[in-house]
Amino acid sequence: MSDRSKADKGRAILPLELRDVVFQAGGKKLIKDMSFTLSGDRTTIVVGPNGAGKSLLLRLCHGLLAPHAGQVIWHGTTRGGQPGNGSDLAVRRHQAMVFQRPVMMRRSVAANVDYALGLRGLSRAERKARTEEVLSHTGLAGRARMPARVLSGGEQQKLALARAWALRPQVLFLDEPTASLDPAATHALEAIITAIRAQGTRIVMTTHDLGQARRLADEVMFLHRGRLLEMSPAERFFTEPANDLAQMFVRGELLWWRRRKERDPRHDP
Amino acid sequence: MTDFGAAFQAAITLVLDWEGDLAEIVSLSLRISLTAVAVAAVVGLPLGAALALFRFPGRKILVVLLNALMGLPPVVVGLVVYLMLSRAGPLGVLGLLFTPLAMTIAQMILITPIIAALARQVIEDLWDEYAEQLQSFGAGPGRAVTALLWDARFSLLTAVLAGFGRASAEVGAVMIVGGNIDHVTRVMTTSIALEVSKGDLALALGLGIVLVTLSVAVNAAVYLVKDAAQKRQLA
Ligand SMILES: Nc1ncnc2c1ncn2[C@@H]1O[C@H](COP(=O)(O)OP(=O)(O)OP(=O)(O)O)[C@@H](O)[C@H]1O
Ligand SMILES: [Mg+2]
């Protein structure tokens, strides 16, 4: 807990507000006029079909992509009425992200964690302590000195999570962190995510595993074709989602070959 | 063929005796080439990294230019350095022409583009892989460059080695700016050229053997280091 307060000493970066955010590539709008606010001490799960824009959304929030229109506003980045585009380095240092395809640096498992911590200016002793802590919690302690790139896909995902966790971020973005894990590892990882959350970290996570979403979510965002169609408390989302498509999605009936039909003006103006 | 056989025998004896002229020539060669490689690496590696990471106007032109400069003919480099350093040239007052320093400068100019161009390619590939993650960690450009140089160190070592190979094998440039003066600027390659023209095949061949042995030894050493490290790190 002492470390949480250390991070807080910097500044609180939440709430995060997106205002009419548009992101496009190749002449296509991939994120369309998205607006919402993330605040409080909750876990938000982002769901939606493949290609809905979930990963893009996390990147926009994390400041890795700049919106073409609209604003990504972290608390405290509004200077003189000029909101930032979310890419402020000082703010990003209170966040961490685990990518859908984890990037392993060409170093040992422990050095991967150590490098990230080094960027936060932590002392060698502190880095070592945190590295050992997160590696043991993710079951990677025995692999600490192995090259990170020989880890299995699932182990790499665990390392990516451990590396992000070690940073003790205020906000943690997780892009399908359990996508290539076996059931036991998925379970273990969910426990870790719960533990991270209990330490006060705000979690924003995507998943295709609706069971997992049910287990972890306080709040669910449903994305479809670059639009935020629904954002509601988890219990409501899973029992009576307001949006038709969200309803079909929850029932597993939102099928890709029906996309053409769905493309009526009601859903995709 | 008996000519060759005799020369070869004499060469071996010369190398084994290892004295006087031979030792002097070899050590001067090494001094010049190693200095040139060190300076070229200090200039070329960050230059390559900068070209890999930063987008600025004219970057593409610079990359193409650098790749073209990799094949720079040594005699042309020698000529240009000669013109710069000759008494009438802009740097003539320094009086560097026909000194080992002039030869070092020529070799450095020759191999900096090689090291920079190879480094750019290596680092750009790694950056493609790392960019998002390092940005996510909150690494500024300085820390990113350091991480890339470190993580690519074995591939970069190969780039530096390519530079060393070219520097130590090169004859045209050092001949022009060094003048092949006995006991002053005579290096392995220029002596070989001279001795062959004088007909002293033994010394030429002896030097050739040393040159090739050195090159093989350096490459082997680097290979072993790299291999051992990769077994540990899987670079
Ligand atoms: N740089 C880009 N250029 C063009 N199209 C892109 C680019 N990046 C993403 N897209 C497109 O944007 C859409 C949304 O991508 P995104 O990765 O956010 O999907 P996702 O919701 O994370 O999907 P998944 O569940 O498969 O991970 C996809 O159709 C993708 O092809
Ligand atoms: Mg995705």
Residue A144 lies in a domain: yes
**Residue A29 bridge partners (DSSP):** A24
Residue A94 lies in a domain: yes
| Rounded distance between C-alpha atoms, residue A176 and residue A186, angstroms | 11
pLDDT, tens digit, for every residue of A109-147? 999 999 999 999 999 999 999 999 999 999 999 999 999
Neighbours of A28 (CB within 10 A): 8
pLDDT of residue A80: 44
On the question of pLDDT at A86 being above 80, the answer is no
The domain spanning residue A57 has which CATH number? 3.40.50.300
Q: What percent of chain A has pLDDT over 90?
A: 74
pTM of this structure: 0.83
Q: Is the peptide bond before A15 cis (omega within 30 degrees of 0)?
A: yes
State the pLDDT confidence band at A268, using cuts at 50, 70 and 90.
Answer: very low
Q: Do B234 and A107 touch (CB under 8 A)?
A: no
On the question of pLDDT at A54 being above 60, the answer is yes
Which structural domain range is residue B97 located in?
A: 2-230
Closest alpha carbon to A174 in A48, A67, A43, A77? A43
Amino acid at the residue A199: Q
Q: Which two three-digit tokens encode residue A79? A: 């200077």
Residue B89 lies in a domain: yes
In contact, A141 and A130? CB cutoff 8 Å: no
Give me the mean pLDDT over the A183-201 stretch: 92
For chain B, the domain total comes to 1
Residue A90 lies in a domain: yes
Residues lining ligand 1, Cβ inside 6 A: A 25-26, 30, 48, 50-56, 100
> Among A105, A107, A108, A145, which would you mutate to test the B interface (most chain B Cβ atoms within 10 Å of its Cβ)?
A105
Average pLDDT, chain A: 88
| Rounded distance between C-alpha atoms, residue A240 and residue B143, angstroms | 49
Indicate the SS3 state at residue A229. Answer: strand
Closest alpha carbon to A34 in A75, A71, A77? A71
Residue B200 lies in a domain: yes
ipTM comes to: 0.86
Q: Do A103 and B133 touch (CB under 8 A)?
A: yes
The domain spanning residue B133 has which CATH number? 1.10.3720.10
Amino acid at the residue B73: P
Question: Which H helix or E strand runs over A9?
Answer: helix A2-10
Ligand 1 atom with least separation from CA of A226: 14
In contact, A130 and A164? CB cutoff 8 Å: no
Ligand 1 midpoint to CA A193 (Å): 25
| Rounded distance between C-alpha atoms, residue B180 and residue B98, angstroms | 8
DSSP state of A82: B
The dihedral region occupied by B223, where left means phi > 0, alpha psi between -120 and 50, and beta the remainder, is alpha
Neighbours of A208 (CB within 10 A): 14
Any CB–CB contact under 8 A between A121 and chain B?
no
Residue A269 lies in a domain: no
For chain A, the domain total comes to 1
Residue B118 lies in a domain: yes
Closest alpha carbon to A52 in A232, A216, A245? A245
The angle formed by the CA atoms of residues A168, A218 and A51, to the nearest 5 degrees, is: 85
Which structural domain range is residue A174 located in?
A: 2-263
Residue A16 lies in a domain: yes
> Among A60, A62, A106, which would you mutate to test the B interface (most chain B Cβ atoms within 10 Å of its Cβ)?
A106
Neighbours of A38 (CB within 10 A): 19
Could you list which residues have their CB under 5 Å from ion ligand 2? A 54-55, 100
Residue B235 lies in a domain: no
Q: Do A147 and B132 touch (CB under 8 A)?
A: no
Residue A162 lies in a domain: yes
Longest CA–CA separation in chain B, Å: 70
State the pLDDT confidence band at A180, using cuts at 50, 70 and 90.
Answer: confident
Residue A268 lies in a domain: no
**Which candidate from B132, B133, B151 shows the least CB-CB separation from A107?**
B151
Residue with tokens 């250390």: A6
On the question of pLDDT at A43 being above 50, the answer is yes
